[in-house]
Amino acid sequence: DIQMTQSPSSLSASVGDRVTITCRASQTISIYLNWYQQKPGKVPKLLIYDASSLQSGVPSRFSGSGSGTDFTLTISSLQPEDFAIYYCQQTYSPPHTFGQGTKVEIK
Amino acid sequence: QVHLVQSGAEVKKPGASVKVACTASGYTFTNYGITWVRQAPGQGLEWVGWISTYNNNTTYAQKFQGRVTMTVDTSTSTAYMDLGSLRSDDTAVYYCAREVIASSTLDYWGQGTLVTLSS
């Protein structure tokens, strides 16, 4: 199975900050990498697919980049509604494993 | 609009089986796959498996092989996940999600079904 490792596991940031979360795959996965946001008690929400494509309706402050084994999710200017847990997921080969999550908290 | 509505919470004894339903609406059911993901209390997301609603092909995570069965009923646009030989560490919220075939992205999710193991 492909292992997905996110860093950091958690971070504290202020509204307006630029935030970057990284995701590393244990083997190359081309661009088959998705990002999801999950707020407490809520269902995960797709933000980015195929490493850098913004899902319809997702604010443009979210962006993704990377290919191969190293990927990043960037929030250009953190908003109050962005405090959540973020997961990466590879869809290169089944099982489509998720990273362990990165919790973004208010500083 | 797209909706995935799951069956209600379940309490099961160790060794029993549970069958979770996921009824889709608002789109052509057979044009998308269904993926099942679970989340143990306070933990991250875990991919359980996938089923093609077009030809019933399935792929399961190795750790669930032999215990999980995924099926669909296209006449009612409903997907099912049957998990057997339940253990205490199967306590989790089980989600179904619509999978875009071209990209394997999960763009719509059900509300989740809490399965609790209790002796």
Please give the backbone phi and psi of residue A45, each rounded to the nearest 5 degrees, phi first: -125, 130
Cβ–Cβ gap B45/A94 under 8 Å: no
Confidence label for B55 from pLDDT (cuts 50, 70 and 90)? very high
Structure tokens at B90: 């199967």
B34 contact residues in A (CB cutoff 8 A): none
Tell me the Ramachandran region of residue A68: left when phi exceeds 0, alpha when psi lies from -120 to 50, beta otherwise.
left
pLDDT of residue A106 exceeding 90, the answer is: no
Question: A98 has which bridge partners?
Answer: A89
Sign of CA dihedral B103, A89, A30, A58: positive
Instruction: Using CB atoms, pick whichever of A55, A96, A99 lies closest to residue B104.
Output: A96
Alpha-carbon distance A5 to nearest alpha carbon in chain B (angstroms): 12
Cβ–Cβ gap A101/B44 under 8 Å: yes
User: 26-45 in B: which are within 8 Å (CB) of A?
Assistant: 35, 37, 44-45
Does A34 lie at the interface with B, CB-CB under 8 angstroms?
A: yes
pLDDT at B77: 98
Buried b / exposed e along A19-42 (16+ C-beta atoms within 10 A): bebbbbbeeebebbbbbbbbeeee
Alpha-carbon distance A16 to nearest alpha carbon in chain B (angstroms): 27
Confidence label for B102 from pLDDT (cuts 50, 70 and 90)? confident
pLDDT of residue A93 exceeding 90, the answer is: yes
Does A95 lie at the interface with B, CB-CB under 8 angstroms?
A: yes
> Rounded mean pLDDT of chain A?
97
pLDDT at B119: 86
DSSP string spanning chain B?
Answer: --EEEEPPPEEE-TT--EEEEEEEESS-GGGSEEEEEEE-TT--EEEEEEE-TTT--EEE-GGGTTTEEEEEETTTTEEEEEE-S--GGG-EEEEEEEEETTTTEEEEE---EEEEE--
Q: How far apart are CA B85 and CA A91, in angstroms?
A: 28
Contact B83, B90 (CB under 8 A): yes
Contact B30, B79 (CB under 8 A): no
Alpha-carbon distance B48 to nearest alpha carbon in chain A (angstroms): 8
Instruction: Using CB atoms, pick whichever of A44, A94, A99 lies closest to residue B59.
Output: A94
Contact B24, B6 (CB under 8 A): no
3-state secondary structure of A42: coil
Confidence label for A7 from pLDDT (cuts 50, 70 and 90)? very high
The average pLDDT across A27-31 equals 97
> How many beta-carbon pairs below 8 A join chains A and B?
64
B111 contact residues in A (CB cutoff 8 A): 43
Alpha-carbon distance A10 to nearest alpha carbon in chain B (angstroms): 13
Q: What is the pLDDT of residues B108-118, one digit of tens each?
A: 999 999 999 99
Q: What is the greatest pairwise CA distance in chain A?
A: 37
Instruction: Using CB atoms, pick whichever of A32, A45, A97 lies closest to residue B47.
Output: A97
Confidence label for B76 from pLDDT (cuts 50, 70 and 90)? very high
Question: B24 has which bridge partners?
Answer: B4
